[in-house]
Amino acid sequence: MNILEERELVQYGFRSAKRYDLAIKMLKSYKWDEFRSLSSAQDTVGEPPVFACRFCKIPGFEHLLALANEDGKIGIQDTKSEYKERSVDNITCTQGHMNAIFDLSWSDSSLRLVSVSGDHTAMLWDVSASTVAPLGMFEGHTRSVKMAAFRPSDTNVFATGARDGLVIMWDYRCSQPNTTTIKPDNI
């Protein structure tokens, strides 16, 4: 009998659990795997939860972890840093949206990131410098935006999907100079 069959019998009450499940026993969390959140508050009881996180896909930058929380903050955590350096001060963080951020997507060919939120917008970010710099806000959905995905091998084109039933393709190159808000053409 394998461990899964044995576990199922325990759940149905046919056997007693005399030993821990092998998978549970092997789970471990080490102090050096601990990371801090996006909030600088010392009180962690009221700290907003992280809603989305994604590792960078670019070779050599896979240690960068993008984090987004319920308050609309977005941050980049360097997971290669030593444990004693991991603090809120170590996270490059900024207020990105006015509502919860539901999804993040990294470009696979540049250090660009798109975030989508309950405020009906998407934002394109440049993280190539030591800061998280907004490149543009994309407005066109009438409900919460739930997902984002870059077109493979393209740093300028991405799609967003929202609760309004629309999937919108965005091209950052079509934005007007000196504008921060980009709207779709054919909606």
The number of domains in the chain is 1
Query: How does residue 186 score in pLDDT terms, banded at 50, 70 and 90?
Result: low
Range(s) of the domain holding residue 150:
34-182
The verdict on residue 20 lying in a domain is no
38: in domain: yes
Phi, psi of 33 (to 5 degrees): -95, 5
Residue 92 in any domain: the answer is yes
Is residue 165 included in any domain, yes or no? yes
| 123 located within any domain | yes
The three-class DSSP label of residue 25 is helix
pLDDT at position 166 is: 94
DSSP letters for 157-173: EEEEEETTS-EEEEEGG
pLDDT tens sequence across 49-64? 899 999 999 999 999 9
Please report whether residue 8 resides in a domain. no
By CB atoms closer than 10 A (0-12, 13-18, 19+), residue 84 is exposed
